[in-house]
Amino acid sequence: MSDLENVSLKLEALGYRVTPSRRAVIAAVLQQSDHFSVDDVLHRCRGAGRATVFRTIRLLTDLGVVCRLLLADGSLHYRVSQRGHHHHLVCTACGTVRDLDQCAISDLMRELSDAYGYEIEGHWLELYGRCSACRSAVAAEAR
Amino acid sequence: MSDLENVSLKLEALGYRVTPSRRAVIAAVLQQSDHFSVDDVLHRCRGAGRATVFRTIRLLTDLGVVCRLLLADGSLHYRVSQRGHHHHLVCTACGTVRDLDQCAISDLMRELSDAYGYEIEGHWLELYGRCSACRSAVAAEAR
DNA sequence: TGTCTCGTTGAGACCAAGTATCATGTCTGA
DNA sequence: TCAGACATGATACTTGGTCTCAACGAGACA
Ligand SMILES: [Zn+2]
Ligand SMILES: [Zn+2]
Ligand SMILES: [Zn+2]
Ligand SMILES: [Zn+2]
């Protein structure tokens, strides 16, 4: 579910047209190595208009091709996503993201559900830290 | 740490002046029953300018008098806060917020720390659902 | 072939949230 | 009492995103 053809097929299967503008946006998204902002795509996408870029990225989000990523500074980024629901561990120094295997708080949610009678419908979880590479780089520098 | 006098004292103790504008903002914040947006305060605060309201709310956040609350629709609200670090369970129907007693994912963070070598510095967690009152209201209506 | 229809596009207006600027006002401590 | 730091608020600006709307284009159909 990660290259241009696959995404195009998926769109078509759902009745969306695969137009040149959409292809351009999708291609730009797929060639991002790590997470990216809408603006990043906008710059790599001469030819597709602002609105179309926003619309297409929303479409890709709804389709599960990319996932949202809330950075520590509050800005919203995106990231090509293979799996379904998951969360992220973001390095605040180098920006690298590690996907967590599965939702790690389903137990917690069940507990809360039981304790307070809430029916939990959704949640937002992001974790920020420094990866081991960045930590050892700092340690080396301090020496 | 929740009424006007206490907050004023706290500000003074840290070297901030307690000006009429700040008093007005703080009073408006404290009389909010549940969570509120900056705009809510702005409307209840004729006399304090826009910038000052933003500045004062940031000050209160830094002081721990209020905490941030990310709603399901992505908008940022605030809420008077007694305790320190905690998370929220927000009803998507009536908007009521329940504070969770403590950070429920400290175990998870320790695990991740160990597994991946990240030094975790921060995180963001919000839970959305329907409270029991709203659930039974819907159930009654469906009958 | 022409023509209808409907999804799509993109320029630009608009909007919301928040920050920067800066002239002015107010404390406060020497 | 004076200098300097702190605080204010009008307003301009920025950022991130949506809305509008005229125009386009790819079928479907006759
Ligand atoms: Zn790193
Ligand atoms: Zn999850
Ligand atoms: Zn409710
Ligand atoms: Zn926590």
Element (H, E) at B39: helix B38-43
| Backbone conformation region of residue B117, classed left if phi is above 0, alpha if psi is from -120 to 50, else beta | left
pLDDT in tens, B98-110: 999 888 899 889 9
Given A127, A128, A131, which is nearest B117 (Cβ)?
A131
Residue B75 confidence (pLDDT): 95
Interval A74-96 mean pLDDT: 93
Residue A114 confidence (pLDDT): 93
- Chain B residues bordering chain A (beta-carbon distance below 8 Å): 70, 72, 89, 91-92, 98, 100, 104-105, 108-109, 112-113, 116-132, 135
Residue B44 confidence (pLDDT): 92
CA of B105 to the centre of ligand 4 (A): 6
B75 CA → D18 C1’, Å: 15
Domains present along chain A, CATH in parentheses: 1-84 (1.10.10.10), 85-143 (3.30.1490.190)
Judging contacts by C-beta atoms under 8 Å, the chain B residues touching residue A121 are 92, 128-130
Q: Are B122 and A108 in contact (CB under 8 A)?
A: no
Whole-prediction pTM value?
A: 0.90
Residue A11 confidence (pLDDT): 94
> Is residue B59 classed as helix, strand or coil in its secondary structure?
helix
Q: Do the Cβ atoms of A127 and B109 come within 8 Å?
A: yes
Instruction: Measure in Å the smallest separation between the Cα of B123 and chain A Cα atoms.
Output: 4
> Using CA of residue B119, residue A83, residue A8, residue A55, what is the dihedral sign?
negative
In DSSP terms, B21 is beta-bridged to none
A75 CA → C24 C1’, Å: 35
> Is residue B63 classed as helix, strand or coil in its secondary structure?
helix
Q: How far apart are CA A45 and CA A24, in angstroms?
A: 6
Interval B56-72 mean pLDDT: 96
> Is residue B31 classed as helix, strand or coil in its secondary structure?
coil
Residue B140 confidence (pLDDT): 78
User: Which residues have C-beta within 8 Å of that of residue A103, sequence separation ≥ 6?
Assistant: A85, A86, A87, A125
A16 CA → C1 C1’, Å: 28
Joined together, the tokens standing for residue A42 give: 């906008």
Q: How far apart are CA A49 and CA B90, in angstroms?
A: 37
DSSP code for A73: T
Q: Do the Cβ atoms of A117 and B125 come within 8 Å?
A: no
Q: How far apart are CA A85 and CA B116, in angstroms?
A: 20
